[in-house]
Structure 1
Amino acid sequence: MKRIQNRFNNLAAMAKQIESSRRIKTEQRTGGESWIRGQQPRTYTSTSYNMDWKGYRQWSASVELLLNQVFGENSPHVINFNKTNLNHEYQDFEVRYPVFLAAKDDYENGYIFDVRSLVSAKVFSDELEQAEELIKKKHTTAAAVIAGTVLETTIRELAQQHGVDLGSVNKMNSDLAKEGVYNDAMKDQVQAWYKIRNNAAHGKPDEFTDSQVEVMIQGIRNFVADQMK
């Protein structure tokens, strides 16, 4: 979380510098068909733009990457940031800068993560119901794999929310505990659940029991409800 906030702040400072470098220059010029049939030269206004172009391109690429990582490539912020197709980068900046500020504000106030968490929690609940149905029909291995997938996805979501580097489930789990997202007891429980998932996925049904998977499903349900809120 701290690293993401620092990145937003750095890009906001960069945007201020780009904004202060912008200049519009207008001048009166003459030209065109100025000597046809004795007409006077036509006068027109020429407008030119100046800005820290290199800085803008760097800022734009960095913001796009950050928004994708934080909100997801299909989020409104990413879509709005990328849909500018104006004739000049000067105008692009005028459109993209407010989108960046809105995204920064939503991140700092937790709005986007609240929405994503609600959606994720609903999806995970449906998948855990499937796992419960499978365990009732004695399809224990399949139930363990589905529940384990929910667990893995939840850990990945939490890592993204709290600025933890993505990696293996065990590594993210340890890092989340270090960040204080949950305590060491929960870290050990997550590791135990994921061990059952791995045994199920690798065809080792003798390494776990039906009752262990039942407890695992309920435990993961409680974990999702507690963390994705």
Structure 2
Amino acid sequence: MALTETFNRRFAELDDHFTAMPYHQYLHGDGRFVPNGFWRKWATSADNLIRAVCGENSSHYRSFTAQFAKTSETEKSVKELYAIFAAAKDDFDGGYVFDVDLRVSGEVFGDFVALARQALSDGRKDVAAVLASAALEDALKRFAVANRLDVEGKDMQNVVNALKGASLVAGAQKSLLDAMPKLRNAAFHAEWGKLGEADVGSIIGFVEQFLLSKFSAP
């Protein structure tokens, strides 16, 4: 199941949990309250979900955590916290939140790139070439799929052509991308004589910039 589907299901579950939350009348005074054990459990799960979906630097998450810190058991206070959750859910359902599949994939690919850069600095050029090329090819395919391009079973050159045809890469990035399939093929076919350290460095540099521009939340 894609992350988007998992998060969508969890948003719906927490929305239902909030609707079912029990309210009690104060014995002395007006108004109602929600027992701490109920609203804090819900809020903790909501906090975790919004952070995973929107990122720690998002306005949704910052607003939720700030409100969470000052929320009390009163009905008014708990519903103010829910309002922020509902806003995050509406934006996610409407497709206005950055694609979480891309963001999480970008974090994973970033680890591969870091390993590739370390390998290159350690003099293991060939290892670095394979790691960086694998990250690049998978990143290109995931980005294409996220933009509804049919690249199933296609090689890297065809994926590149599909991205260019859809105008999803442009400028200097487009020019640099043209050279990547050849370098990738050399790495995957163990044609080490065709790959110098500068070539491997260019693959790593390209993947880093591609992840920053296409896989990072705005």
- TM-score normalised by L of structure 1: 0.52
Q: Give the one of 150, 154, 178 matched to 1:165.
A: 150
Larger strand proportion, structure 1 or 2? 1
Paired AA for residue 189 in structure 1: L
Contact 1:177 1:184 in 2 (8 A): no
Question: Which residue number in structure 2 is paired with residue 132 of structure 1?
Answer: 117
CA distance in 1, matches of 2:165, 2:157: 12
Question: Which residue number in structure 2 is paired with residue 192 of structure 1?
Answer: 179
Q: Give the one of 150, 165, 170 matched to 1:183.
A: 170
Alignment RMSD, CA only? 2.9
Question: Which residue number in structure 1 is paired with residue 73 of structure 2?
Answer: none
Paired AA for residue 114 in structure 2: E
Contact 2:102 2:143 in 1 (8 A): no
Question: Which residue number in structure 2 is paired with residue 109 of structure 1?
Answer: 95
Aligned CA distance change for structure 1 residues 177 and 139 (closer, same or farther; 3 Å): same
CA distance in 1, matches of 2:189, 2:90: 42
- The reply to whether residue 213 of structure 1 matches residue 144 of structure 2 is no
Contact 1:164 1:175 in 2 (8 A): yes
Deviation string, structure 1 residues 3-42 (Cα, Å, up to 9, x no partner):
xxxxxxxxxxxxxxxxxxxxxxxxxxxxxxxxxxxxxxxx
Q: Give the one of 127, 135, 142 matched to 2:127.
A: 142
Aligned CA distance change for structure 1 residues 151 and 190 (closer, same or farther; 3 Å): same
Question: Which residue number in structure 1 is paired with residue 30 of structure 2?
Answer: none
Shift of 1:79: 9.1
Aligned CA distance change for structure 1 residues 168 and 108 (closer, same or farther; 3 Å): farther
Contact 2:120 2:128 in 1 (8 A): yes
Question: Which residue number in structure 1 is paired with residue 6 of structure 2?
Answer: 75
Question: Which residue number in structure 1 is paired with residue 67 of structure 2?
Answer: none
CA distance in 1, matches of 2:93, 2:165: 22
Aligned CA distance change for structure 1 residues 183 and 201 (closer, same or farther; 3 Å): same
Aligned CA distance change for structure 1 residues 186 and 127 (closer, same or farther; 3 Å): same
- Tell me, which stretches of 5 or more residues in structure 1 are unaligned? 1-67, 82-102
Q: State, as a whole percentage, how many aligned pairs show the same letter.
A: 20
* Equivalent position SS for 1:132: helix
CA distance in 2, matches of 1:134, 1:227: 25
Shift of 1:187: 3.5
Q: Which has the larger radius of gyration?
A: 1
The count of corresponding residues between Structure 1 and Structure 2 is 139
CA distance in 1, matches of 2:119, 2:176: 22
* Equivalent position SS for 1:111: coil
Question: Which residue number in structure 2 is paired with residue 154 of structure 1?
Answer: 139
- Tell me, which stretches of 5 or more residues in structure 2 are unaligned? 13-88
What aligned pairs does 1:49-88 form with structure 2 within 5 A after superposition? 71=2, 75-77=6-8
CA distance in 1, matches of 2:6, 2:178: 31
Contact 2:116 2:131 in 1 (8 A): yes
